[in-house]
Structure 1
Amino acid sequence: MTTSISLALEYFHPWPNSAGFYLARHRGWFADAGIDLQIRTVDPGIGDSLEHLGRRLVDLAVFPTNRLLVRTERGEPLKAIAAVNQRGLETIRTLTSSGISNLAQLAGKRVALNPTPRGVAIVRDLVAGAGGDPDTVTLVDVGARELTSAELAGGAADATFGSYWAWDILLSEHPDRPERIWRVDEELPFGYHSYLLGAHDDLVNRNPLLLADFQSISERGFRYAAQHPDETVELLSDVMPYFPAGVIARSLDAISSTWFYENGWGTVRPELVEPYAHWLAGHGILTAPERWSAAFANTSAASANHAP
């Protein structure tokens, strides 16, 4: 008996952070377990991967931790079952020609970003934490886009928040445009899982064995992808043919370092969720951070709720 499972990725197109799912499918490991895996990108006209999951347009999805916490606090029946990344991926990016050598110097400058409450709060905290005045930062709304180094050189902004050090920056860096990069989770007083894997409560409750199999096979795929980069790049070059193989290879090398904790894939770590939830609450994005573990199913996080 074969069970069809659909997975929505976290972005507008596949990128190496999804390599484990593609490798496991390509090598037949999902099929061997009776799973017919369909990997999909989201339709922006509908919403993000969590919106697709909430509407039951897909069975599983990859999504950011903060968005899950917001939705589950609203009572949406969604659960994370595994962590894809063991750290954050975002950066503050500028060109050395901007003269900005520390985050405090963003004061009085133009910073491009998607001005979500979380994004604005992170930029303000980074500037303030470095000793600058966040009230003097001019925010440039670029929506979901990430400015390229060429656009920064052209004056679109002085710096940008959001570009992933393991992807976006690699797409547009140029030797004639040297850059300064700050990895956000190294500047904030807390870390976080950039992406999680999750499902609708109905599937979590109805078929936990299927989800356990899916997670186990995914771990095998991510481990294989990290250990066999040449084969992985070859496969991904077919999945995402409009990106140079050299960039895919560099991205894979960078992002694979975020997949494992103590040699295991999927571990949800309370120390990367609870402080983050309280920070989100401190900025009015959550109201009940002590209930963060309600967003997780059958994980170490779910059993580590410190709320009474």
Structure 2
Amino acid sequence: MKNCRKIISAALAVALAVVFTAGCGKTSSAPAKKSGKGAAKKVTFCLDWTPNTNHTGIYVAKKLGYYKDAGIDVKIVQPPEDGAATMCASGKAQFAVEAQDTMAAALDSDAPLGISAVAAIIQHNTSGIMSRKGDGIDRPKGLSGKTYSTWESPIELAMIRNVVNGDGGNYKSIKKIPNNITDEPAALKAKQTDAIWVFQGWGGINAKVENVPVDFWRFADINKVMDYYTPVIIANNDFLKKDPETAKAFLKATQKGYEYAIKHPDEAAKILIAGDDTGSLKGSEKLVTESQEWMAKQYAKDADYWGQIDPKRWNAFYKWLYQNKLSKTDLTGKGYNTKYLSK
């Protein structure tokens, strides 16, 4: 199965940097307007990838009428080639799915994109390195001398270097090959690569479903500063300012959708599968169901409520980027807004 977001992270970072240096930080966003008296306000929500269990709460809120009850008509769309953040910043979508690491490129510019993270979809960074079981890559230094599939993202590679060298390994000895993998367990089994970056709730669960024995370790368990927010829901800044009540209503209904998914993962999985109009989940019902069971425990783990963003943890990662020369500017305090969602 596709690796929800990371497959396109490097391309997205490049696209954002190129597209928005020409002043595209300005948006054409306008408040979602009523089409008539008593009519629902129209909101466009852009996914970051084809539907998966990161998105379940959105589909639940739509199917169970939470958005309708809030006076909102939500349209869920796929991202354009230049990414969901681009679509959101342009005003063609009021909300979208992104991640704190790939957002850095959008914010670290003379003309930063007008977007802000307004809710954390899950509370912890569950991504890490997956490898064939018994190959000795059950800890970071084990990557030394092995083949790793990379998106060639500066942040991605800096994180790999940090944990490998910090564990006594040799980052320079890693053989890096392009990552064009869509089914991570199958690629490992076929020995197309030795190691690949996956999200535990999808790639990790898929290894179990496909019965491929693997080793896996999380970045957040190795270096706490890497426990950044991924994925998040972002919003267009102009929209937030011009129509805060709709923004709050949308996020409250979305929160309700994820709370349902936490309490009723099996039912939520069925709603996601039924709501997928891309056909990408066809034949993957077992993966979706088992992923949803796992994700239900992650959405609000260690948080006071679903969607909570801890400024200290957000800022710690961006400070680390700046200190390691992965951003030109100190992004501390930038890129998030906690005013629109509460318990």
**Structure 2 partner of 1:55:** 90
CA distance in 1, matches of 2:239, 2:252: 17
| 1:21 aligns to 2:62 (yes or no) | no
Q: Structure 2 unaligned runs (5+)?
A: 1-38
**Structure 1 partner of 2:242:** 206
Contact kept in structure 2, 1:110 and 1:139, CA below 8 Å: yes
CA distance in 2, matches of 1:217, 1:117: 36
| 1:265 aligns to 2:306 (yes or no) | yes
The match for 1:122 among 129, 138, 159 is 159
TM-score, structure 1 as length reference: 0.89
CA distance in 2, matches of 1:195, 1:255: 12
Letter in 1 for 2:195: A
How far off is 1:210 after superposition?
Answer: 0.8
What is the 5 A alignment of 1:106-121?
106-121=143-158
Alignment RMSD (CA, Å): 2.1
Sort the Cα spacing of 1:109 and 1:206 in 2 relative to 1 into closer, same or farther, 3 A: same
CA distance in 1, matches of 2:222, 2:288: 27
Off by >3 Å, runs of 4+ in structure 1: 172-177, 298-301
How far off is 1:173 after superposition?
Answer: 4.1
Contact kept in structure 2, 1:83 and 1:197, CA below 8 Å: yes
| 1:177 aligns to 2:177 (yes or no) | no
CA distance in 1, matches of 2:178, 2:234: 30
Deviations 1:80-106 (A, max 9, x none): 222212111211011124243432121
How far off is 1:70 after superposition?
Answer: 2.8
Letter in 1 for 2:85: L
Sort the Cα spacing of 1:66 and 1:180 in 2 relative to 1 into closer, same or farther, 3 A: same
**Structure 2 partner of 1:305:** none
The match for 2:322 among 281, 286, 290 is 281
Contact kept in structure 2, 1:65 and 1:195, CA below 8 Å: yes
Q: Structure 1 unaligned runs (5+)?
A: 302-308
**Structure 2 partner of 1:136:** 173
| 1:5 aligns to 2:43 (yes or no) | yes
Sort the Cα spacing of 1:16 and 1:174 in 2 relative to 1 into closer, same or farther, 3 A: closer
Report the secondary structure of 2:82's partner residue: coil
Letter in 2 for 1:124: R
| 1:245 aligns to 2:285 (yes or no) | yes
- Number of matched pairs: 295
Contact kept in structure 2, 1:6 and 1:39, CA below 8 Å: yes
Letter in 1 for 2:44: S
Deviations 1:183-240 (A, max 9, x none): 1211123211111112111101101111111111111110011111222122122134
| 1:197 aligns to 2:233 (yes or no) | yes
| 1:37 aligns to 2:78 (yes or no) | no
Contact kept in structure 1, 2:321 and 2:327, CA below 8 Å: yes
Letter in 2 for 1:293: G
CA distance in 1, matches of 2:308, 2:212: 38
- Higher mean alpha-carbon deviation, 239-248 vs 26-35, is at 239-248
Letter in 2 for 1:120: L
| 1:65 aligns to 2:100 (yes or no) | yes
Sort the Cα spacing of 1:58 and 1:18 in 2 relative to 1 into closer, same or farther, 3 A: same
**Structure 1 partner of 2:135:** 98
Sort the Cα spacing of 1:247 and 1:79 in 2 relative to 1 into closer, same or farther, 3 A: same
Report the secondary structure of 1:247's partner residue: helix
TM-score, structure 2 as length reference: 0.80
CA distance in 2, matches of 1:264, 1:203: 24
Letter in 2 for 1:5: V
**Structure 1 partner of 2:195:** 159
CA distance in 2, matches of 1:269, 1:88: 13
CA distance in 1, matches of 2:315, 2:41: 35
